[in-house]
Each structure stands twice: as structure tokens, then as C-alpha cells.
Amino acid sequence: MTTPSSPTSPASSGLTDAAPPGCPAHTGASLGAGGLRRLYGSEADEDLAGVYEKLRAEHGPVAPALIHNDVRVWAVLGHSENLHMVRTPSQYTRDSRVWSAVKNGTAGPDHPLAPVFTWQPMCSFVEGAEHQRLRGAVTGAMAGLDHRGIRRHINRYSNKLLNGICEKGEADLVGQFAEHLPMMVMLHVLGMPEDYSDRMVQAARDMIKGTETAIASNAYVMEALTRHVVRRRAQPEEDFTSALIAQPQQLTDDEMAEHLRLVLIAAYEATANLIANVLRMVLTDPRFRAQLSGGQMTVPEAVEQSLWDEPPFSAMVGYFAKQDTQLGGQQIKAGDGLLLGIQPGNVDPVVRPDLSANMQGNRSHLAFSGGPHECPGQDIGRAIADTGVDALLMRLPDVELSVAESELAWRSSILSRHLVSLPVTFGKRPPQDVSARPMAQVPAPRKNWEVSSPLPEALEPSAAPAPQPVPTAPAAAPEPVRRKGAWRRFLEWWRGY
Ligand code: HEM
């Protein structure tokens, strides 16, 4: 455990000391300034989770470490330490303007992670009354969303994407499914035309990857959102944008565009990652194959397990200390930066002594963070993943990975780790009516998928309208996956099939 007086202690040496950016003596080595471990560079690119475990073994639940340009942070690795940090706004804030590395310029606007920590006037970066005002507007607008209607659209867009691949017998489920579905759904939620989808996916990818066109892509997204706000102020419709405009908090045009971008981009990236991870799990994890495990893992359970094992955001930069304090045995100084360690917190041996144990029914993972900033869109993210994966398995019940699992490539950074592609094969089949219920087609459905799934609690209707009859399948339709009970038929109706 680091002590305040040890040579590697950020408390003694000042958390914001930095090596010269790009210094050849440092770049690529796993140890940087002050002998601290780097969370970037070759070792971290290969196995960041392994670096976190070394840090945990060396320092305990809160460890000093380096992010790009050797800027020092406290990596919060413990589950309860992360929760304490996010739930204690009197000591820790998301307002990066208090970070000493920002104040002294070592984490300046040219820092590779600047897009995620640079302060902006939106709910993610503010606290107290201003946070309540901005977040209250977002959650107020979300409260009016028709979740059943959204599920119906998720199903429709899933079918549309599947129509684009079903005749080919092979696909990359990351590039052709997971990366498109959340954007199509979120554009619909915002009330924007579907035509934006491909360009928006391209722009969002650019912005997230920080390519040289990232600034132009950000400008494109902001212009499109600003135009959309102007249109909806003039002519409100039944969508999230109009609801956000109508909130009593009276967001300005800039605040409107900022929050629409936050919702669109955060939702896009996280949910695309989640779908890809769940699909990989479904294709490779024996727990999903009922006959092998003796138990059955439903799609929502696979989603939850994936949120534990492969959280869509692995860490966030971050939280900042407002005052001198202690966390996990470390002395934290006012102005220090702390990394919200979502992935390391989720595998903290204190809460998960056996990583292979099924986390069924346990939603206390850190994937959506916690405290005042806890993700307000988690039920929408879960709904997109559940419904999209469900629809895919219904349409392509014989889908198989076309490469060995060990050949799958990942792209990783401090912020997230995601699959580069997920190549699969399946029997060729004709497209379907996009508004129809996904229908298993020849070849015969695989018997060991368990695609029937309980509703996530928060989307369960408190006053559900009476179930309507499920439209019967056309006479020539192939056998459904299995005989359905009333509950399953209700679920299908609920999902909009
Ligand atoms: C699987 C999908 C998702 C994951 C894993 C995820 C995760 C997160 C995380 C980790 C945070 C940061 C919390 C913090 O600062 O401590 C966050 C914030 C946020 N998320 Fe999500 N998110 C997802 C989907 C969505 C969706 C679909 C929406 C909108 C419809 C959304 C809207 C937001 C907003 C507005 C915030 C800022 C909240 C605040 O600062 O008060 N997210 N999300």
C-alpha cells in the first residue's frame, strides 16, 4: 500500500507532475514518471485489466497511476471505494475545473483525453443546484417516453438491419448490426429522420476514436442537432427533443444541443459496445446454451452478466477531490484526479471472490456508475440490447461465430474495450417485413437458445394496458421456436412483435 511519504506517492510528489509529452524515454514503457504504472502504452493496450490487478496487489483498492502524458491520477479499483466516491458529492466532483492538472496545464486542451474531461456546460460536469436543473430536464423528458413504442421501433430497426445481411449467410455483427442499431433507435427517440443514421454513425465513430476528422464530425453533429432544436421549437412533436424543450427548466439553445449530443453519443457508444459484448457472450458462453449448463441464461441475464464482465465504459476520467480526504487507505489531496474504475471495481475480489460465478439477479455492478450522476438512460440501453439481440436470435437461430474465439480482436483504451468485429455465418434466408414479428426461418431453429426473457423491472408497465391479441402468423409461416405460453405471447406483444 502506498503511504503519503513513499517515493511513488502522488501525495508526496504532487499528482499533476507530468513527463514531457511523447518523451521517447517514457512512451511504451509500462512504468513512467515516479516509477508509477501507466494505464496507456503497450502493456496497457495489451492487457489493461492485468495492469489494474498489479496495481491492486501493490497498493490496494486505490492506486496511484499515470494516464496519457504521464499525468497522475488515483485509479479507484475497489467496488465500495468507487461507490463511496460517486456517492459523496461533498468530497468529489465531476467538475474538472478543480483538477490541478487542468489548472497547471499538464492536462490541457491538447491532452489525448481532453474531449472526455474538458468542462462543458452540461449535466455531466456540474454539481448541486445546476446539476439538478440540467439533469432534471433530461430525466423529465425521459419520463415521458413511450417505452413500449421504443421496443417496437428497436424491433423494427433490428429487422431492417437483419434484412440487409440475411441473404448473404455471413456478416460482421459489430459493423453491420451493433454499431447501427443504437443510432437508429436514438435518432428515432430524438425525433430525427432516419436518413441521418449512416452519417451520424460515421461522425460518432470519429468523435470517439479521436481521428483527425473528429472536430469536423463534432461540428456536423452539433449543427444537425441545433437545426433540429430550431425545428422543434417551431413545431413540437411527440419526441424527446420536444419534451426537453417543454421542461420547466427552460434550457437555452446551447444547453439543448449539448444535452442532445450527450444523450446521442453516450447512448450510441455504450449501447453499441454492450450489444457486441452480449452477442459475443451468447455465441461463445456455454451458460447461454441451456443443454450444456443445465440452467438457462436468458438474453436480459446475458446483458446483466456482460455489464459485470465487460462494462461498455471500462473507466471514466473522472472525479476530482474538492478537499483533502482519504480513500482506500490513501491520502487524497484537494485538486487530485481520480479514475472511476468501472471494470476493476466490477472484478474486485471483495465483491466477486469467484469470477466464474453467475451474477444472476445482482445488478450492483458499476457499469452505470452511481450517486447523483448515475446513468439516467440505463433502461433504454438495456432495452436496445435485449430487444436487438432477441430479434437477431429469432431471425438467425443458427448463427455461429465463423472464427475461433481466440481470433477475435479488441480495441482498447482507458475508457473502453470493444470488439473490432464479430464475424458470423448462418443459413441464408429471405428478408422479412420489417414491421412483422421476427420469425425463425429455415434451417430449423437451434433448440438450445433461450430467447424468452423477463422484462427489466424499470420497463415493466406500472399500469400496463390490457394485452391485445397477438397477430397470428401467416399460414405458410414456419414453426415458431417453441410452443408459446400466454406469458411469452404477452412478451412478444409487449416488445412490439
Ligand atoms: C448500455 C448503455 C449505457 C451505459 C453503460 C451508460 C453508462 C453511463 C455512465 C458510466 C455514466 C457516467 C456516470 C457518472 O458520471 O458517474 C453515464 C452518464 C449518462 N448517461 Fe449513460 N450509459 C448508457 C446508455 C445511455 C443512454 C441510452 C442514455 C440516454 C438515453 C444515456 C444518458 C446518459 C446521461 C444523460 C448521462 C449523464 C448523467 C449525469 O451526469 O447526471 N446513457 N452513462
Q: Is 337 helix (H, G, I), strand (E, B) or coil?
A: strand
Residue 221 has pLDDT above 80, yes or no: yes
Residues with Cβ within 8 Å of residue 492, at least 6 apart in sequence: 437, 470, 484
Answer whether residue 124 is part of any domain: no
Band of residue 7 on the pLDDT scale cut at 50, 70, 90: very low
Find out whether the beta carbon of 341 lies less than 6 Å from any atom of ligand 1.
Answer: no
Give dist(CA 69, CA 220) in Å, integer: 29
Answer whether residue 170 is part of any domain: yes
C-alpha 366 – ligand 1 centre gap (Å): 11
Torsion angles phi and psi, residue 140, rounded to 5: -60, -45
Higher pLDDT, 287 or 490: 287
Residue 488 has pLDDT above 70, yes or no: no
Residue 464 is predicted with a pLDDT of 30
C-alpha 270 – ligand 1 centre gap (Å): 8
User: Residue 37 has what DSSP assignment?
Assistant: B
Q: How many domains does the chain have?
A: 1
C-alpha 179 – ligand 1 centre gap (Å): 17
Residue 209 is predicted with a pLDDT of 66
Answer whether residue 458 is part of any domain: yes
State percent of the chain over pLDDT 90: 61
Residue 454 is predicted with a pLDDT of 38
User: Residue 38 has what DSSP assignment?
Assistant: B
CA dist list (Å): 403 to 51, 259, 375, 421, 422 = 28, 40, 35, 11, 9
Torsion angles phi and psi, residue 39, rounded to 5: -95, 15
For ligand 1, atom 11: residue with the closest CA: 375
Instruction: Indicate the Cα dihedral angle 225, 228, 230, 234, nearest 10°.
Output: -160
C-alpha 262 – ligand 1 centre gap (Å): 9
Answer whether residue 48 is part of any domain: no
State the average pLDDT over residues 391-413: 92
Residue 190 has pLDDT above 70, yes or no: yes
C-alpha 21 – ligand 1 centre gap (Å): 31
For ligand 1, atom 10: residue with the closest CA: 368
Which residues lie across from 66 on neighbouring strands? 38, 72
Band of residue 371 on the pLDDT scale cut at 50, 70, 90: very high
Residue 482's identity, in one-letter code, is R
Answer whether residue 380 is part of any domain: yes
State the average pLDDT over residues 18-36: 61
Q: What is the pLDDT of residues 34-53, one digit of tens each?
A: 889 999 998 998 999 999 99
Residue 400 has pLDDT above 80, yes or no: yes
Lowest mean pLDDT among 346-350, 408-412, 480-484: 480-484
> What is the number of the ligand 1 atom nearest to the C-alpha of 86?
16
Residue 124 is predicted with a pLDDT of 96
Residues with Cβ within 8 Å of residue 358, at least 6 apart in sequence: 287, 297, 305
| CATH code: domain of residue 440 | 1.10.630.10
**Residue 281: domain span:** 132-310+366-494
Find out whether the beta carbon of 94 lies less than 6 Å from any atom of ligand 1.
Answer: yes
Residue 492 has pLDDT above 50, yes or no: no
Give dist(CA 399, CA 413) in Å, integer: 30
Give dist(CA 59, CA 53) in Å, integer: 10
Answer whether residue 84 is part of any domain: no
Residue 364 has pLDDT above 90, yes or no: yes
Give dist(CA 232, CA 241) in Å, integer: 7
Q: Is 266 helix (H, G, I), strand (E, B) or coil?
A: helix
Packed helices 299-309 and 253-284: angle between N→C axes, nearest 10 degrees: 110
Answer whether residue 78 is part of any domain: no
C-alpha cell at 264: 446521442
C-alpha cell at 27: 512512451
Pocket test for ligand 1, best of 303, 375, 389, 459 (most atoms within 8 A of CB): 375
Give the DSSP letter string of 47-74: HHHHHHHHHHHHH-SEEEEEEGGGEEEE
Find out whether the beta carbon of 71 lies less than 6 Å from any atom of ligand 1.
Answer: no
Do the beta carbons of residue 383 and residue 410 sit within 8 Å? no
State the average pLDDT over residues 197-201: 87
Lowest mean pLDDT among 28-37, 118-127, 137-146: 28-37
State the average pLDDT over residues 379-394: 94
Give dist(CA 83, CA 78) in Å, integer: 9
User: Residue 414 has what DSSP assignment?
Assistant: S
> What is the number of the ligand 1 atom nearest to the C-alpha of 307?
5
Q: According to the per-residue pLDDT averaged within each range, which of 30-39, 63-72, 287-296 is highest?
A: 63-72
> What is the number of the ligand 1 atom nearest to the C-alpha of 385?
1
Give dist(CA 260, CA 231) in Å, integer: 14
Task: Indicate the pTM of the whole model.
Answer: 0.83
CA dist list (Å): 337 to 85, 237, 259 = 12, 42, 24
Residue 287 has pLDDT above 50, yes or no: yes
Give dist(CA 206, CA 53) in Å, integer: 31
Give dist(CA 105, CA 31) in Å, integer: 22
C-alpha cell at 331: 491520502
Packed helices 147-165 and 181-190: angle between N→C axes, nearest 10 degrees: 140
State the average pLDDT over residues 234-258: 95
Band of residue 429 on the pLDDT scale cut at 50, 70, 90: very high
Torsion angles phi and psi, residue 63, rounded to 5: -130, 140
Residue 78 is predicted with a pLDDT of 98
The angle at the Cα of 453, spanning 447 to 459, to the nearest 5 degrees, equals 160
- Whether the upstream peptide bond of residue 461 has omega within 30° of 0, thus cis, is no
Do the beta carbons of residue 481 and residue 449 sit within 8 Å? yes
Band of residue 60 on the pLDDT scale cut at 50, 70, 90: very high
Mean of per-residue pLDDT scores for the chain: 82
Residue 251 has pLDDT above 60, yes or no: yes
Residue 459 has pLDDT above 90, yes or no: no
Q: What is the pLDDT of residues 433-455, one digit of tens each?
A: 876 655 554 444 444 444 333 33
> What is the number of the ligand 1 atom nearest to the C-alpha of 189?
30
| DSSP H helices in 75-144 | 79-86, 100-103, 114-117, 128-143
Find out whether the beta carbon of 373 lies less than 6 Å from any atom of ligand 1.
Answer: yes
Element (H, E) at 253: helix 253-284
Answer whether residue 424 is part of any domain: yes
Find out whether the beta carbon of 415 lies less than 6 Å from any atom of ligand 1.
Answer: no
Residue 473 has pLDDT above 50, yes or no: no
